[in-house]
Amino acid sequence: MVIEIKTAEEIQKMRTTCTLAASVLDFIAPHVKAGATTDLLDRLCHEYILDHGAIPAPLNYKGFPRSICTSVNEVVCHGIPGALTLKDGDIINIDITTIVDGYFGDTSEMFCVGEVSKEAERLIDVTRRSMWLGIREVAPGKRVGDIGAVIEEYAHGELGYGVVDQFCGHGIGREFHMDPHIPHVGRRRTGKRFKAGMTFTIEPMINLGTHHCITLSDGWTAVTADNKLSAQTEHTILVTDAGFEVLTMRDSAWRPEDLSA
């Protein structure tokens, strides 16, 4: 269970694939609107990724039948694109994983279809802040449990949202999912220690109600057990000597107002 340390060349390849994955989110954003099917979003992303010389990692991954994940409203993660037509008030997570030159880059974002409820807006805001609280824990010597602890203390402890513990962030590189697991709940000063050169994702799933999830009979789609809304955002992170680098950052992405606070 040794956590891989990337060489400078590998880190450059991670930057390339992660930047491309992030660019897919900017590309697809204007297409996320009422009347669009999730199949259309999948097809557009699939073509964009191929046009940029990359491979969409989800396609045929353990039998997953599409090139992206689209998780709408009560879907927690791993939603399969299909005939579902987006309507005003929906919230949707689009999760993109690309393979460029053998290296995986993984990132996801929330989109609102037209006007959404205040509680949906708030859930998305809390999810992004949770992810960033986790990101800001990342530095050499800090530990895996520090990430889950800050996310759980904020989203569940302070605000009462459900923090999903059934799906985790993960190491990433020449494989989609590698060691270490990055839970979004946990205790400080526990778990493996970070070292410069490690790459992994942070991708909290935050629920309006219960943290419990149910997987549908398609074997993939995870929904909240109470059918209340769920949100998720994801970045791929590099541990640097100074702390962290968000490899999937893009100009348009949400970020906290004051990174130093």
User: From the CB of 176, what's the least distance to Co ion, in Å?
Assistant: 8
**69 binding ligand MF3? (CB under 6 A):** yes
User: From the CB of 167, what's the least distance to ligand MF3, in Å?
Assistant: 8
Could you list the beta-strand ranges (E) of the chain.
55-56, 69-72, 75-77, 91-100, 103-112, 162-163, 169-171, 178-182, 199-202, 205-207, 213-215, 222-224, 230-232, 235-239, 244-246
User: From the CB of 168, what's the least distance to ligand MF3, in Å?
Assistant: 9
Which residue type occupies 257? E
- State which residue, 17 or 97, has the beta carbon closest to ligand MF3: 97
**203 binding ligand MF3? (CB under 6 A):** yes
**64 binding ligand MF3? (CB under 6 A):** yes
**23 binding ligand MF3? (CB under 6 A):** no
In angstroms, rounded to a whole number, what is the distance separating the alpha carbons of residues 166 and 149?
16
CB atoms within 10 A of CB 82: 15
**109 binding ligand MF3? (CB under 6 A):** no
- State which residue, 11 or 69, has the beta carbon closest to ligand MF3: 69
- State which residue, 32 or 96, has the beta carbon closest to ligand MF3: 96
**97 binding ligand MF3? (CB under 6 A):** yes
- Measured CA distances, 203 to 20, 76, 114, 223 (Å): 18, 11, 24, 16
- Largest Cα–Cα distance in the chain? 48
User: From the CB of 118, what's the least distance to Co ion, in Å?
Assistant: 27
- State which residue, 4 or 234, has the beta carbon closest to ligand MF3: 234
In angstroms, rounded to a whole number, what is the distance separating the alpha carbons of residues 112 and 220?
23
Q: Give the interface segment with ligand MF3, choosing from 61-69, 146-154, 189-197, 222-230 (CB under 6 A).
A: 61-69
Contacts with 227 (C-beta within 8 Å, 6 or more apart), sequence order: 74
SS3 of residue 187 by DSSP: coil
**109 binding Co ion? (CB under 5 A):** no
Which residue type occupies 182? I
Q: What are phi and psi of 125, to 5 degrees?
A: -60, -45
**95 binding ligand MF3? (CB under 6 A):** yes
**95 binding Co ion? (CB under 5 A):** yes
Chain residues that interact with Co ion, rule: CB under 5 A: 95, 106, 108, 201, 234
Chain residues that interact with ligand MF3, rule: CB under 6 A: 58, 61-62, 64, 69, 78, 95, 97, 106, 201, 203, 220, 234
